[in-house]
Amino acid sequence: MRILSLNGWGGRLGEQLVDYVRAENPDVLCLQEVTNTLEATTPCLIYRDGGGELAQRANLFAEVAGALPGHQAFFCPAARGPLHDGDRAIPSEWGLGTFVRRSISIVGQAQDFIHGGFSADGFGEHPRSRNAHAVRLHDYASGRTTVVVHLHGLRELDGKGDTPARDIQTKKLIEMIGRIRRHGDGLVVCGDFNVLPDGRMLTALRDIGLTELVTSHGFTDTRTSFYRKMPRFADYMLVSANVDVRNFEVVAEPEVSDHRALLLEIG
């Protein structure tokens, strides 16, 4: 089973991202910062925040789903707020996308908020709501059952250090994992955590028996050349001891976001 985790950056490099996902064709795709704008009439819109503007792909979820026709597609919204087509404000949902190859059975599923709750009338003030999605998968090829969880971690304006809100986020994530995971299941936790490698969140996940693959494999950067700031860590992938890791890569090329993709192959 090949599992790909990527922050889609709102689809700013939408065509390149969709082409990459289509070519890579992972068994499981965990995609963060996904847009879903049902009323859009153009492929690209503008996100406005604090005087700045960012280009967004209007319907990144639908475009990725179209590139993976052999997958079941799940969209998990965290908030609904405005994107803009000139002066016109268009309601747009923003959240997580999970795509699972149809030959793999989904035998359990959980979706919940790890910070805040669903915001239906705007993206809200920072720090904004954050959610996580877990799928319990039975792979007939290997005979194994594995829980795959991904999240887009809390963004604090002061940076990626430890905070009480991040501690609560960690507790809620671990509780959510406990609700879906069964004895003997493998566990993969991935996504854009927005924390530092030595922070309390990753320490807590190690304490429940997970190994963090990015730093343990010697990778020192999960951001692409589109990201100009420091520190260079944001994305992680962790596995339980009973996951048979065949290969792990922090993908340097192609650059389809300001985050690098994380690609895991398990037996």
Q: Are 100 and 135 in contact (CB under 8 A)?
A: yes
The pLDDT score that the predictor gives to residue 125 is: 87
Structural domains of the chain in order of their starting residue, each with its CATH number: 2-266 (3.60.10.10)
d(CA 12, CA 9): 6
The alpha carbon dihedral of 4, 57, 71, 187 has a sign of positive
Instruction: Report the chain (267 residues): mean pLDDT per 10 consecutive residues.
Output: 98 97 98 97 94 94 98 98 96 98 98 97 92 98 97 94 97 98 98 98 98 98 96 97 98 98 98
d(CA 75, CA 62): 9
